Structure 1
C-alpha cells in the first residue's frame, strides 16, 4: 500500500516560434509555461482507488479487485512503447460507463487515468490503493498543454505508487526532481496518456511537461535545450475558439497555391526559431539586457509572418495593438485564429505599464496571466513550497 502524502506538478507549454511551419519540416521552439497542474497523491482506504478532478467535475472511485480483474482482461499489450489499442480503450469505456464517441474533457481525463493506472500497475505490480486529486492553473482547450501536464503528473504519481521510480524529495527540501532515466520513463508513460486523449500527438507537450525549459522540435525529433533563462511574459487568452485542423489545412492550401511566395515565409520562420534558440542558449552565461530587443524584434517579425500564412485573427491584432501602445511586443502562440498570445516582459518593464496593459486587454474581454516561460519540468513539492491558493485547492476532500 502507498503510505506517503505527496504533491507534484508539471508545467504547461507555449510555442515560442515555429507554429505551422513545424508541420512542414521546420524548427519549432516549445517552452515550459509556469502555469502548472498539481497532483496530490495520498494513501486510500485498503482496496480502493479514487480520482478527483474538480476542474472537469470528475469524482470516481473503484475497488482495486475490480480493476485487477479488468486489467487481466486487457493487459496483454500494455507497454510504454505501444499505443493504446482500440479494443483496450473500448473495454475501459464500457467499464467506466463512457459513451463510445465521448470527447468531453471529463470522459477523456477519466479514460486516461484508467488506462495509465492499469497499464503501469500491470508492468510494475498490483493496482495501488491511492487517492489522487488534480488541480490546475491551466485553462483547458487553450493550446497550453493542459492534458499533457495532467498526463505527466499521473505518470509520475502512478510510477511512484508502483515503486517503479524513486521518491526523491528528502526531509527539509522544498522541491526535488527525478534522475534523467526516471524522467525518460515518466515521459514515455505520459505520452501514452496523451495518446488516449488525443490519438496521435507529437509528443512535444508531454516532453515539455517532463523536462521543462525549452525544446527544439523538427521532423519528429525532440531535443531539450541545455540551459535557457526564465523569461517573464504576459499570457493572454482571447477566448476566441478555433479549429487547429482547419487552420493547418488552410496553411497547406495557401502553400500549394502560392509555393514561390509561401515557402520563403516558412524558411524565414525557421530562421527565426533558430536565431531565437541561439539567443536563449547564450543568455544564461551572459545575462545582458541587449538580448531583449532582439527577442522583441523576432516576436514582431514572426507575428507578421503568421498573418501572411493566414492564421491571424482580429482578436490577435487587437492584442498586439494594445500591448504595443504600452511599449510591449506580442505574438500569437499555438494554432492562431484566436486562442492565445504571448507578450515579452523585459526585466525593467515597469509595473505601471504592465498593469495598464493588463487592464486594457481585460477591457477587450480577454483573460491575462503574468507568468514565466522556461519553467522547471515535473517536480515534487513540500507543502512549504506551495502558495496558499494551491494548498487550498489540494486540501479539498
Structure 2
C-alpha cells in the first residue's frame, strides 16, 4: 500500500501563443499555461480495483485487465503505462475548472495531472521531463501517433515555454504576458483541420513548406520578445503569424471579424487565432475593456505547472 492516504495533483490548462501547424514540421512553437486548472485526486485501495469518477464518465475495472472507454481514453492510457509498477488499485476523482469544449488544452491537462498522480503513487519519477515522456506516449497511443506535445509541455512546466518536437526542446521563458481570450462559439476538431490543410498543401507543397519556415522564423523572434518582456514586438509578431495562418486557409469569416475588432481596441497589441483554426478561440495580447458579442474566457498566464500534494492519515 501507499505511504499516503491521498495524492492531490492539479495541472493548468494551456494555450498556443504561436507555432500552430508549423510545430508539426519541426519548427519552434510557443505555448503558455493558464490559470484555469484541472485537479486529480488519487486514493489508494487495498485490492486491485481501479475506479474513476469524472464529469466525462465513471469507470470501474481491474488493474489486471483494463477495459477501454473512449471518454476516459487519455486517463486509461496513462494507467496502462504505470500498470507494471502498481501493487494495488486506486480511485481517481477528476474535476475541471474549465470546459472541455473550449480550447484550453483539457486533454493535455488531464493527461499531465493523471501522469503525475500515477507516477507519485507508483514511486516513479515525477521530474517534469519524465512526466512529459510518459504523458506524450499516452497521447500518441490514443491519437495514433498524432500530437506535437506542445500543450502538454505548457501544462507540466507552467508559464510560457518554447517547444520543438525534434530534436526535443522545452525552454521556459522569462516573460508572463497579459492576454484576453474569446471563444467563437464553435470549433472544428484539430485532426479535421489538419487534414484540410494537408489537402491544400499537397497542391502547393513548395509554397506551404515556405509558409511553415516563415512561421518558424516568426516564433524565433517571438521567443526573444517574451524573454525580454517586449510586448510591442510580440504583438507585431502575433499579427504577422496570423497572416500566415490566413495563408494556410484556417481563418474563416467569423474569426477574421473577431481579429479585426479586437485589434481596434486601444489596450491590444496583437491578435491571432489560438489553436488550429476554423473555429475555437482568438487570442489578444493585452486587455480588452469593450463589450464584444463573443464569449470572453477569463484566463491569464499561470506561472506554475503541475503541482503535487501528498496527504497522510
TM-score where L is the length of structure 2: 0.85
Cα shift readout 1:106-154 (whole Å, capped 9, x = no counterpart): x241x443443343131x24133x3221111333254432112111111
Partner Cα separation in structure 2 for residue 5 and residue 260 of structure 1? 54
Q: Who is 1:239 aligned against?
A: 185
Q: Who is 1:39 aligned against?
A: 40
**What does 1:72-221 align with in structure 2 at a 5 Å threshold?**
92-93=67-68, 98=69, 107-109=70-72, 111-122=73-84, 124-128=85-89, 130-165=90-125, 182-200=127-145, 201-218=147-164, 220-221=166-167
Q: Who is 1:299 aligned against?
A: 238
Deviating more after overlay: 214-223 vs 30-39:
214-223
Q: Structure 2: any 5+ residue segments left out of the alignment?
A: none
1:335 maps to 2:295: no
Decide which structure has greater helix share. Answer: 1
- For the pair shown, which has the larger CA radius of gyration, 1 or 2? 1
Alignment RMSD, CA only? 2.8
Decide which structure has greater strand share. Answer: 2
Partner Cα separation in structure 2 for residue 375 and residue 154 of structure 1? 20
- Contact kept, 8 Å, 1:226 with 1:281, in 2: the verdict is no
- Contact kept, 8 Å, 1:231 with 1:374, in 2: the verdict is no
Change (3 A) 1:317 1:37: same
1:13 maps to 2:14: yes
Partner Cα separation in structure 2 for residue 132 and residue 191 of structure 1? 20
- Contact kept, 8 Å, 2:19 with 2:215, in 1: the verdict is yes
Q: Structure 1: any 5+ residue segments left out of the alignment?
A: 71-90, 99-106, 166-177, 284-290, 384-397
Q: Who is 2:60 aligned against?
A: 61
**Helix, strand or coil: the match of 2:63?**
helix
Q: Who is 1:321 aligned against?
A: 260
Cα shift readout 1:283-308 (whole Å, capped 9, x = no counterpart): 3xxxxxxx221111112222122112
- Contact kept, 8 Å, 1:16 with 1:30, in 2: the verdict is yes
- The list of structure 1 runs, each at least 4 consecutive aligned residues, that deviate by more than 6 angstroms after superposition, is none
**Helix, strand or coil: the match of 1:377?**
coil
